[in-house]
Amino acid sequence: MQLSNDNDQETDNIQKGGVISENLASKPQVLSDKKLIKEEVKRRLISGIQTAALEYDSLYNEEKATLNKDYVLLSLLFQRMFFYKLNEKLSGLSCDHTLRFTKQILTQMQFKRGKINEIIDVFKKNGGQCDCEILYNVESQLIGK
């Protein structure tokens, strides 16, 4: 009789283990190591390839983003870490009310001049006349509640 209970408990543990591993597979672990975060940001920025989850990803609100007719482009820029990088460049600085950092980052992302101009037009149409306004007015349309 004891043997049967042990087998039942072992079966339960195996089943629970399967559920736990399924949960882990469905919820990717968020990177916390600064070096790994920096590598992931660079990888996404340059190649657009996401290999790990970042805390920043959880800010994105798809329901809110889809309210904007330019959401496909803006969401792509969010996923490729454009807004993250712009915020990083502006932190500790006051905005000079130009698109200097925006153009630098889009160039780093390997967009051609024509595509950069299209993206800037979308930013301006959405209230992003300069680097800081892109964060305040454009990124805010993709994040939060």
User: Does one domain contain both 131 and 82?
Assistant: yes
18-28 pLDDT, tens digit per residue, is 443 344 345 56
Instruction: Examine the pLDDT at 9 and tell me if it is beyond 60.
Output: no
Would residue 72 count as lying in a domain?
A: yes
Euclidean distance between the first and the last CA atom of the chain, given in angstroms as a whole number: 56
Would residue 45 count as lying in a domain?
A: no
Using CA atoms, how far apart are residues 108 and 118, in angstroms rounded to an integer? 16
Using CA atoms, how far apart are residues 128 and 73, in angstroms rounded to an integer? 14
> Tell me, what's the pLDDT at 27?
59
Residues 6+ apart with CB under 8 A from 95: 130, 131, 132, 133
> Tell me, what's the pLDDT at 92?
85
- At 88, the amino acid letter reads E
Would residue 136 count as lying in a domain?
A: yes
Using CA atoms, how far apart are residues 98 and 87, in angstroms rounded to an integer? 14
Would residue 42 count as lying in a domain?
A: no
- The pTM of the whole model exceeds 0.75: yes
Using CA atoms, how far apart are residues 105 and 102, in angstroms rounded to an integer? 5
What DSSP element (H or E) covers 56?
Answer: none
Would residue 39 count as lying in a domain?
A: no
The proportion of the chain whose per-residue pLDDT surpasses 90, expressed as a percent, equals: 74
Would residue 35 count as lying in a domain?
A: no
> Tell me, what's the pLDDT at 26?
53
> Tell me, what's the pLDDT at 84?
96
State the average pLDDT for the chain. Answer: 85
Would residue 43 count as lying in a domain?
A: no
Residues 98, 134 contacting (CB under 8 angstroms): no
The residue-averaged pLDDT of 12-36 equals 59
* Total domains present in the chain: 2
> Tell me, what's the pLDDT at 49?
94
DSSP structure class, residue 140: G
User: Does one domain contain both 64 and 114?
Assistant: yes
73-91 pLDDT, tens digit per residue, is 999 999 999 999 999 999 9
The residue-averaged pLDDT of 32-44 equals 93
Q: Which domain holds residue 20?
A: 1-29
Instruction: Examine the pLDDT at 126 and tell me if it is beyond 50.
Output: yes
Would residue 53 count as lying in a domain?
A: no
